[in-house]
Amino acid sequence: MDMLKEDLNREINRIKEKLEKSTAMNEEDLKMVLLSMLLEEDLHEGN
Amino acid sequence: MKATNNSRIPEPQVKVPTLAILQLTRFGDLIQTTQAIEDLKKSHPDYRVILIARSQFAKPLEFLLKRFFTKIYYLDTKKIFENSEVQGLKASHDSLNVFLGDLSQESIDVLINLSFSKSSAYLASLIQSEHKIGTFFDYSNKMQINDKWSQVVFSTVMRGALNPYSIVDLFKNIIGIRSTEAKSAPAVTARTNTIIVHPFASQERKAWRAEKWVEVIYRVLKENDSCTIQIVGAKNEVLKSQLITENPLLKTFGHRIQNMTGKTSLAELSMELKKAKLFVGHDSMVGHLAAVNNTPTLTVSLGSVRPYETTPYHSNAYNLAPRTKCFPCFPSDACSYNQCHHDIPYQIVSASIKQLLEQKEISSDWIKANVSSFHMSSVNFYKAKIVKGSLHLDSLIDNHQDSTDIFRSLYRVAWSFVVNDTEENLPFPKLNNNSHRDLLAALTGLQHLFELSEFGKKYSRFILEEISSQTPSINRIKEYSKKIDEIDQLQALVQKTSPQLAPVIDYLAVRKANLYGDSVVKLTESSYYAFEECGNLCSILFELIENTIAEHKLTAGKLGPQNKQV
């Protein structure tokens, strides 16, 4: 799970940088954000 | 000579519309979604209605969901993340792609997101559909809400206790179901003399401690010789259930208490509810499941529960709520004492259970005659009724309607008129000194809001006129836009002095954040209409408050000599 978290954090930081530069996201970026949200919700539910 | 055409002209194929309902939240929301879809299926039996839901909540409810949905797509996060420890992000990404690939085989006409969570909004943005209703994100990571009912939900349900609608009715409004028919009375079924009790809730602040339930159960079993009690709950509630069943006070009644906690599937629980005479518990999915089975329900609402939103959706529902000043709170509010838990005496619950077990109604007269006024002094007691296809809560206590209750009624009339273009006829609320004062204060706030909306319209119009002039001045357009920004800020300030107007102010903010159009002209037109709608809402609320105050004065004998005589 840690590996996934690390991968996702890296992706989210990349997307944040993109948005800061006013560059639009693409479908793949949306998927990364969705995965990160779902993982967060799953961990929350597990607690 | 005769020409015969033996080949039949094929009849044009009418495409069956496909609606996709996105509901990623928990059991209770899923059950309430089916209650909304039940009405949709009545008016449009030919529609293909598919459901996109999370496996962990939808699978246990499959027995119910299958009755209403043509197909169910399960978002299985366990599966999505199962190989991630070894393969990292790639495995999850591939798994998500498989799920989205399956969905892309559907030709979805309208995707309706009923979940209002961020994850559902991101998922909605990834699903191909002709039209989208509810929240979704655009490529600049901005949340979009284009339909008005979802905007109402976002500006009222998410932010306070002034929402007048049941969740099922909000779902129906978002989907666009306008059923006016009265719900047919359920067929009378033979039921066992069993009460199903679910004394737990998703959060501690929403449920009484075990001792209080012990008192209720003890009294009920003592006063009703032939009834039995089934305690139900999830596997993680077994220990809590034992605190009740193993209490020494209930020792003599052990043979009449069945502890089913953690032992039933939801399908089995649903069957038990169908046979039971009554369901009693806190706000949870069990109450909604009881409503689906037409089993009378008595809910004890505590903590952050809002009875107007969450009362089980059927006409056989009663709801007890405390009159505690801070009720209903927000889940994030700090609370160490849970005053609301103490404000509902267990005696009211046991007396009401006795009345309902005898299959009699609970009315204002019955309360006056059978419950001590001392016990009722800190309680609100509601009975649900379904009028013109929507749920209303009638207060069974005559003299208590606080300002929030009154504003909720006024908002119900105003939203129906402005958003649905329909009229709701509700009786005039009864005012006391405090609510009278609050209504008068709101008149001033509404006046300010109305004037600001008029200014908003004026400056939106100036921008349009400037653009359409022969020599448009960018500076002037900027100046007018700045004025509109100032108006937005001033409207937000009104909320500080008139907190009861928050839904109007928030609604305008949500509308303004979702202006439509791809040019300055279209966006400005959209802004004009948003201000106009805000102005209309203010006018309607102003008129309703004026009439309410006039009625109050009339009944209080303050108007006209003939009333003084009475």
Query: Is the Cβ pair B122, A26 closer than 8 Å?
Result: no
Q: From A32, which residue of chain B is nearest by alpha-carbon distance? A: B93
Is residue B354 within 8 Å of residue B224, measured between CB atoms? yes
Which B positions 105-144 lie with beta carbon below 8 A of chain A?
A: 117-119, 122-123, 125-126, 137, 139-141
8 Å CB contact of A34 and B80 = no
Q: Cβ distance B385 to B318 under 8 Å?
A: no
Would you say the C-alpha torsion B134, B26, B210, B296 has a positive or negative sign? positive
Question: Is A34 close to B56, i.e. CB distance below 8 A?
Answer: no
Residue B172 to residue B161: CA distance in whole angstroms: 20
Whether B80 has its CB under 8 Å from any CB of chain A: the answer is: yes
Residue in A3, A22, A30 closest to B137 by CB: A30
Q: Which residues of A touch B97 (CB under 8 A)?
A: 31
Query: Which residues, 6 or more positions from B173, have their beta carbon under 8 angstroms from its beta carbon?
Result: B149, B152, B165, B419, B420
Rounded Cα–Cα distance for residues B319 and B326 (Å): 18
Quick check: B126 and A30 CB within 8 A? Answer: yes
CA distance B145 to B514: 6
Buried b (16+ CB within 10 A) or exposed e, B536-547: ebbebbbebbee
Q: How far is the C-alpha of B566 from the C-alpha of B557, rounded, in Å?
A: 7
Are A4 and B122 a contacting pair at CB < 8 A?
no
Residues of B in contact with A8 (CB under 8 A): 89
pLDDT of residue B41: 92
Of B84, B117, B139, the CB nearest to A24: B139
**Option in A24, A34, A39 nearest B126 (CB):** A34
> Burial of B352 by CB count in 10 Å (0-12 exposed, 13-18 middle, 19+ buried)?
buried
B122 and A45: CB-CB below 8 Å?
Answer: no
Contact A35 B123 (CB under 8 A): no
pLDDT tens-digit series, residues A20-40: 999 999 999 999 999 999 999
Which chain B residue lies closest to A20 (C-alpha atoms)?
B140
Helix ranges (H only) for B319-432 are 339-343, 346-357, 364-370, 373-376, 403-415
Contacts of B410 (CB under 8 A, 6+ apart): B541, B544, B545, B548
Residue B401, token pair as written in the block: 């309607």
Tally Cβ neighbours within 10 Å of residue B205.
17
CB pair distance less than 8 Å for A38 and B80: yes
Q: Of B85, B119, B141, which is closest to A38 when you measure between CB atoms?
A: B119
A34 vs B85, B122, B139: nearest CB: B122
Interface with chain B: mutation pick from A2, A4, A20, highest number of B CBs within 10 Å: A4
Sheet of strand B131-133, all strands in order from the earlier edge strand to the far edge: B71-75, B48-54, B18-23, B110-113, B131-133
Q: Which of B422, B439, B420, B400 is nearest to B547 (CA)?
A: B439
pLDDT by residue for chain B (566 residues), tens only, comes to 566 666 667 777 778 899 999 999 999 999 999 999 999 999 899 999 999 999 999 999 999 999 999 999 999 999 999 877 777 899 999 999 999 999 999 999 999 999 989 999 999 999 999 999 999 999 999 999 999 999 999 888 866 789 999 999 999 999 999 876 655 656 656 788 999 999 999 899 999 999 999 999 999 999 999 999 999 999 999 999 999 999 999 999 999 999 999 999 999 999 999 999 999 999 999 999 999 999 999 999 999 999 999 999 999 999 999 999 999 999 889 998 899 999 999 999 999 999 999 878 999 999 999 998 888 889 999 999 999 889 999 999 876 678 888 999 999 999 999 998 888 888 888 888 889 999 999 999 999 999 999 999 999 999 999 999 999 999 999 999 999 999 999 998 998 889 999 999 999 999 999 998 889 999 999 999 999 999 999 999 999 999 999 999 888 775 555 444 32
Q: Searching chain A, which residue's CA lies closest to the CA of residue B88?
A: A4
Tell whether pTM > 0.90. Answer: yes
Cβ-contact B197, B219 below 8 angstroms: no
Q: Which residues of A are less than 8 Å from B139 in CB distance?
A: 24-26, 30
Query: How many whole angstroms from its chain centre is CA B286?
Result: 16
Greatest extent of chain B over all pairs of C-alpha atoms, in Å: 101
A39 within 8 A of A46, measured Cβ to Cβ: no
Quick check: B25 and B75 in contact, CB under 8 A? no
d(CA B187, CA B56) in angstroms, rounded, equals 33
Q: How many residues can be counted in chain A?
A: 47
Assess whether the previous peptide bond of B328 is cis (omega < 30° from 0).
Answer: yes
DSSP B355: H
CB–CB of A35 and B125 under 8 A?
no
Name the closest residue on chain B to residue A47, using Cα atoms: B236
Q: Please, are residues B274 and B352 in contact by the beta-carbon 8 Å criterion?
A: no
Closest CA to B204 of B214, B193, B212, B196: B212
Measure A11 CA to nearest chain B CA, in Å.
10
Residue type at B476 in one-letter notation: R
Token pair 């530069």 is found at A21
Considering only CB atoms, which chain B residues are within 8 Å of A30? Answer: 122, 125-126, 137, 139
A26 vs B contacts (CB less than 8 Å): 139
Q: Which of A4, A33, A41 sits opposite B84 (nearest CB)?
A: A4
Taking the C-alpha atoms of residue B100 and residue B126, their distance in angstroms, rounded to an integer, is 8
pLDDT at B181 (0 to 100): 61
